[in-house]
Amino acid sequence: MKGIHFVQEDSPTEIGAAAANDDQLVARAKALASELALGPTRAYAGVKRLLYRTATNPLYEQMEVENESIADVARTVDAQEGIAAFLAKRPPQFNGR
Amino acid sequence: MESLTTLLFKVSEHVAYITLNRPTVVNAASLELAEELEKVARECDESNSVRAVLLTGAGGIFCGGGDLKSFAAQEPSRLPTHLKRVNLFFHSAIQCFARMRAPVVVAVNGPAAGYGMSLACAGDIVLANESARFTIAYTRVGLTPDAPSTYYLPRIIGLRRTMELALTNRTLTAREAEAIGLVTRVVPGDQLIAQAESMANELAHGPTRAYGGVKRLLYGTATNPLYEQMELENESIADMARSADAQEGIAAFLAKRPPQFSGR
ipTM: 0.91
Lowest mean pLDDT among A17-31, A57-71, B13-27, B152-166: A17-31
Q: Between chains, do B172 and A9 touch, taking CB under 8 Å as contact?
A: yes
Examine residue B218 and state whether it is found in any structural domain, yes or no: yes
Q: Is the pLDDT of residue B165 over 50?
A: yes
Q: Is the pLDDT of residue B247 over 70?
A: yes
Q: Is the pLDDT of residue A66 over 60?
A: yes
pLDDT in tens, B171-223: 999 999 999 999 999 999 999 999 999 999 999 999 999 999 999 999 999 99
Question: Domain total for chain B?
Answer: 2
Examine residue A26 and state whether it is found in any structural domain, yes or no: no
Query: How far is Cα of residue B228 from the mean position of the Cα atoms in its chain?
Result: 26
Residues B174 and B213 in one domain: no
Q: For residue A70, what are the domain limits?
A: 40-97
Q: Is the pLDDT of residue A4 over 80?
A: no
Examine residue A15 and state whether it is found in any structural domain, yes or no: no
User: What percentage of chain A carries pLDDT values higher than 90?
Assistant: 76
pLDDT band at A14; cut points 50, 70, 90: low
Question: Domain total for chain A?
Answer: 1
pLDDT band at A19; cut points 50, 70, 90: low
Examine residue A29 and state whether it is found in any structural domain, yes or no: no
pLDDT in tens, A68-86: 999 999 999 999 999 999 9
Checking DSSP bridges between strand B7-12 and strand B15-20, what pairing results, if any? antiparallel
Q: How many CB atoms lie within 10 A of CB B247?
A: 11
Checking DSSP bridges between strand B185-186 and strand B133-135, what pairing results, if any? unpaired
Query: Which sign does the torsion angle of CA B97, B103, B109, B111 carry?
Result: positive
Residues of chain B positioned with their CB less than 8 A from the CB of A90: none
Residues B190 and B212 in one domain: no
Residues B150 and B185 in one domain: yes
Examine residue A27 and state whether it is found in any structural domain, yes or no: no
Residues B31 and B160 in one domain: yes
Residues of chain B positioned with their CB less than 8 A from the CB of A79: 79, 141-143
- Nearest Cα to B141, choosing from B68, B231, B76? B68
Residues B131 and B221 in one domain: no
Instruction: Report the residue of chain A nearest B78, measured CA to CA.
Output: A75
C-beta separation of B9 from B38 below 8 A:
no
Residues B227 and B249 in one domain: yes
pLDDT band at A1; cut points 50, 70, 90: very low
State mean pLDDT over B2-30: 97
Residues B130 and B192 in one domain: yes
Residues B229 and B114 in one domain: no
Q: Is the pLDDT of residue A24 over 80?
A: yes
**Is B82 a catalytic site residue?**
no
Examine residue B229 and state whether it is found in any structural domain, yes or no: yes
Q: Which residue would you say has higher pLDDT here, A6 or B70?
A: B70
Residues B113 and B213 in one domain: no
DSSP state of B170: P
Q: For residue B94, what are the domain limits?
A: 7-204
What is the C-alpha to C-alpha distance for residues A32 and A29, in angstroms, rounded to an integer?
A: 5
The answer, for A14 touching chain B at a CB cutoff of 8 Å, is no
Q: Is the pLDDT of residue A42 over 90?
A: yes
Instruction: Report the residue of chain A nearest B173, measured CA to CA.
Output: A9
Residues of chain A positioned with their CB less than 8 A from the CB of B143: 43, 70, 73-74, 79, 82
Chain A residues 26-55 within an 8 A CB cutoff of chain B: 32, 35-36, 39-40, 42-44, 46-48, 50-51, 54-55
* pLDDT for position A2: 47
* pLDDT for position B2: 73
SS3 B21: coil
Examine residue A17 and state whether it is found in any structural domain, yes or no: no
Q: Is the pLDDT of residue B243 over 80?
A: yes
Helices in A5-58 by DSSP H: which ranges?
Answer: 22-37, 41-53
Q: How far is A20 from chain B (nearest CA, A)?
A: 15
Residues B94 and B67 in one domain: yes
Examine residue B34 and state whether it is found in any structural domain, yes or no: yes
CATH number for B127: 3.90.226.10
Examine residue A62 and state whether it is found in any structural domain, yes or no: yes
Examine residue A76 and state whether it is found in any structural domain, yes or no: yes
- Nearest Cα to B147, choosing from B33, B65, B59? B65
Q: Between chains, do B139 and A39 touch, taking CB under 8 Å as contact?
A: yes
Residues B161 and B244 in one domain: no
Examine residue A67 and state whether it is found in any structural domain, yes or no: yes
CATH number for A79: 1.10.12.10
Examine residue B264 and state whether it is found in any structural domain, yes or no: no
Residues B200 and B216 in one domain: no
